[in-house]
Amino acid sequence: MPNGNCSARNLPFLDGFSAKDRQSVEEAISQQDAQRYKARELRIQKADEAVEDTRCRLHDLLGADKLAELRKEIKRERLAFRDLWQPPESLNHDFTRQHKASKWKIDRLIRNTGANPEQLEKIGKEFRQRLEAILSVVDGKVVPGYNLPKHLDTWINLSPLHKFPLPWGSIPPIDDPSDPHRWFLFRPPFFGFLFSFVPVASNNFLVDRLLFLEPSVGLVGNESTMDCNDAGNFDYASATAEAQIAFGFEAPATGLVEVLVDAQSTIDTHYLEIDDEFGFSSAWCNQNNYLMMNVLHPNVPEPSLSLMSNLFEETDGDDLYANRENLTRGQHYFAHLFSSGPVPAGQSVVVTVGTRTFDIANANDMELHSRTNFQWFINSVEVRIAP
């Protein structure tokens, strides 16, 4: 998929909103779309500046001729290494031995340039740190998520509704209807939805997403991939994928919107493969999954996020493989979130709840394959104006 923004929404309950409230929702959507686009463009600009600055430092260290010759020889060795595995000759080759031999050739070329390995390592380390800071900026305030059974007392004390089996029976009236801070319960089927995808990638990365979204049963999820099959130096990528259900809420008072989300994990996989090539080899990858909520109102500038699972790995030359499930399939988890701005009393707003995947990566002379797959059932959403 080319670099750009992909988003869509369906909010059928807006027909019940007043013209003023519908206009407010559309204004909020336009505002957040513009912020998302601006943030993406700024991220690309800063990342490209970091790449160019690092190339200039290597140029100053090695000189134009030596640097060009070194990159040329690295490319030539890559092609020669691939030719070794064409049949029928490949049947007689030992991969590990041939790979070590190719790396030795490149290491000798680097030494012949007269470059100080410590200087090269310092330049590479400073670039990785700078790029990670650029790509790691998160759109939204982040708080921890919780495993519900292990924090049952906390969950029960958050709302009087939690004294009842919400998914299986009728809920007796427990709050004073005149209380402006009472809880409102929303459960499947949901009828509104939103999804978005914001890829960022340098030339050698391919970034894509597979969407899982079934609002009627509360299913939200994303499979996000970042693949660098022919790593040059200083390649980078990020993938931000969101899938959310949506519903309308009329604020009985002015204030922040407080939300409790009970979500059931159905799939939660972190997969990462990094293959060392030749040259100034290093790579890292940071994979993150969140439960999230948002309120579509101009006073609310950004979503609120609850981090549920993370994988971070880095390597400076060795092959690396990771395949992990941090969560427990079928288990319940919860998020306790507040909107990033207040909404006025009496106004109908759109509340969205779902999941975000945010993965970032950097590869220098290494192949990198990142895949995350997180899917959730949104069992219940409780909403109120925070007291």
pLDDT at residue 226 tops 90: yes
Shared domain check, 150 and 125: no
Residue 16 falls inside a structural domain: no
Shared domain check, 106 and 65: yes
Mean pLDDT of 88-103: 76
pLDDT at residue 378 tops 50: yes
pLDDT of the residue at 2: 40
Cα separation, 187 vs 169, in Å, equals 12
pLDDT of the residue at 128: 86
Residue 36 falls inside a structural domain: no
Q: DSSP label at 285?
A: E
Percent of the chain residues topping a pLDDT of 70: 95
Residue range(s) defining the domain that contains residue 63: 48-132
User: Of the candidates 67, 42, 43, which has an alpha carbon nearest to the alpha carbon of residue 57?
Assistant: 67
Shared domain check, 77 and 221: no
Shared domain check, 105 and 144: no
Q: Is there a cis peptide before residue 88, judged by omega within 30 degrees of 0?
A: yes
User: Of the candidates 160, 108, 117, 381, which has an alpha carbon nearest to the alpha carbon of residue 259?
Assistant: 381
Query: Which residue did the predictor score with more confidence, 166 or 380?
Result: 380
Shared domain check, 155 and 118: no
Cα separation, 290 vs 292, in Å, equals 6
Q: Please, is 330 exposed, middle or buried when counting C-beta atoms within 10 Å of its C-beta (0-12, 13-18, 19+)?
A: exposed
pLDDT of the residue at 4: 57
Q: Which of 80, 115, 132 is the last residue of a domain?
A: 132
Shared domain check, 232 and 104: no
Residue 32 falls inside a structural domain: no
Q: Is there a cis peptide before residue 189, judged by omega within 30 degrees of 0?
A: yes
Mean pLDDT of 367-379: 97
Residue 139, SS3? coil
Shared domain check, 108 and 183: no
Number of H helices, E strands in the chain: 5, 15
pLDDT at residue 368 tops 60: yes
Cα separation, 356 vs 289, in Å, equals 6
Number of independent structural domains in the chain: 2
Mean pLDDT of 85-97: 78
Mean pLDDT of 48-56: 91
For the record, the structure tokens of 314 come out as 């880095």
Q: DSSP label at 365?
A: S
Shared domain check, 75 and 164: no
Cα separation, 93 vs 145, in Å, equals 50
Shared domain check, 171 and 102: no
Mean pLDDT of 296-320: 92
Q: How many CB atoms lie within 10 A of CB 149?
A: 11
- State the residue for tokens 């992909």: 6
pLDDT of the residue at 101: 79
Residue 181 falls inside a structural domain: yes
pLDDT tens digits along 143-193: 999 999 999 999 999 999 998 887 776 677 777 888 999 999 999 999 999
Residue 310 falls inside a structural domain: yes
Cα separation, 370 vs 322, in Å, equals 10
Which of 46-50, 60-64, 232-236 is the most confident on average? 46-50
pLDDT of the residue at 109: 73
Q: Which of 105, 132, 159 is the last residue of a domain?
A: 132
pLDDT of the residue at 65: 79
Go through the chain and tell me how many residues it has: 387
Shared domain check, 108 and 220: no
Residue 214 falls inside a structural domain: yes
pLDDT at residue 3 tops 50: no
Shared domain check, 59 and 205: no
pLDDT tens digits along 332-365: 999 999 999 999 999 999 999 999 999 999 998 8
Residue 266 near residue 330, CB atoms below 8 Å: yes
Q: What is the mean pLDDT of the chain?
A: 89
pLDDT of the residue at 372: 98
Shared domain check, 224 and 89: no
Residue 281 falls inside a structural domain: yes
pLDDT at residue 277 tops 80: no
Cα separation, 280 vs 366, in Å, equals 9
For the record, the structure tokens of 385 come out as 């104006």
- State the residue for tokens 């060392």: 276
Q: Which pTM was predicted?
A: 0.89
Mean pLDDT of 297-322: 92
Residue 173, SS3? coil
Residue 6 falls inside a structural domain: no
pLDDT of the residue at 58: 82
Q: Which of 82, 109, 132 is the last residue of a domain?
A: 132
